[in-house]
Amino acid sequence: MEIIDAIILGIIQGLTEFLPVSSSGHLELGKAILGDNSIPEESLMFTVVLHFATALSTMIVFRKDILDIIKGILKFEWNEDLQFLSKIVISMIPAVVVGVFFEEQLEQLFSGNILLVGCMLIITAILLFFADKAKNTNKKVSFSNAFIIGISQAIAMLPGISRSGATISTSVLLGNDKTKAARFSFLMVVPLIFGKIAKDIVGGELTYDASNFTALSIGFIAAFVSGLFACTWMIKLVKQSKLSYFAFYCIIVGIIAIIWSTAS
């Protein structure tokens, strides 16, 4: 992979992991435009590295929250921090089930299926439009809400459905506070990313080629830095009810992707 391609894909991952426009969908579009011909194992390795970078940037942005949760857990009480962690675990269940039982079917969708990406981006746009119109509240995510939001996260494993867009929109439409919805959305994905990375490593699915070290490193840095920016920015945008801007963007990119797929 060329260095410039690694930078571009890293920035795409960093921005779209947090902005509600689908990181997986944009990575597929980016690879199609750049003509990524890497074999599946190399492509998977690069994707995993980029996801690790954005997970790390999430931990940096929410470092105080994570430390507070750890301190709360160590008190061995049924306090707010342990309850929040329990909700995170509950939210992971749907995605884990889908990942375990439908992994092969999902992987087949990540093979340059630009038409699917385009259609899913339009669905993402519809979700964002509805969420942007929702009134803000002071309500916190409940246990039942956590599971429903988890279902949205599982659906968002489809390329083109924004994970952050789907989970934040679902949370807001359930009547939760917009800032709390964004916080929950970003923190709930961190264990899943590290779990997926661990699974791929243990299963021997990742293939490392020393010749790709530079591209992997630069891609990681690009995703990490852009992820820090996007995560911080997204929290402000959700609070200010500006998701409709991204809805228009998703519609435009979705239509272009559909036209691209049918014309090629």
**Per-residue pLDDT tens for 171-203?**
999 999 988 998 999 899 888 888 877 877 776
Give tens-digit pLDDT for 115-154: 888 899 999 999 999 888 888 888 999 999 999 999 999 9
Q: Is the pLDDT of residue 157 over 90?
A: no
Which residues are CB-neighbours of 223 under 8 A, at least 6 positions away? 10, 11, 13, 14, 17, 49, 50, 53, 54, 57
> Among 225, 165, 172, which residue's Cα sits nearest to residue 189?
165
pLDDT at 163: 87
The span from the CA of 173 to the CA of 168, in Å, is 8
Instruction: List Cβ neighbours of 33 (8 Å cut-off, separation of 6 or more).
Output: none
| Prediction pTM value | 0.83
Report residue 41's pLDDT band, with 50, 70 and 90 as the boundaries. very low
Q: At what angle do helices 243-263 and 23-34 cross, to 10 degrees?
A: 40
The whole-number pLDDT of residue 39 equals: 38
pLDDT tens-digit readout, 233-246? 888 888 887 888 88
Q: Mean pLDDT, to the nearest integer, of 94-108? A: 82
| Alpha carbon distance 224, 226 (integer Å) | 6
pLDDT at 1: 61
Residues with Cβ within 8 Å of 64's Cβ and at least 6 positions away in sequence, in order, are none
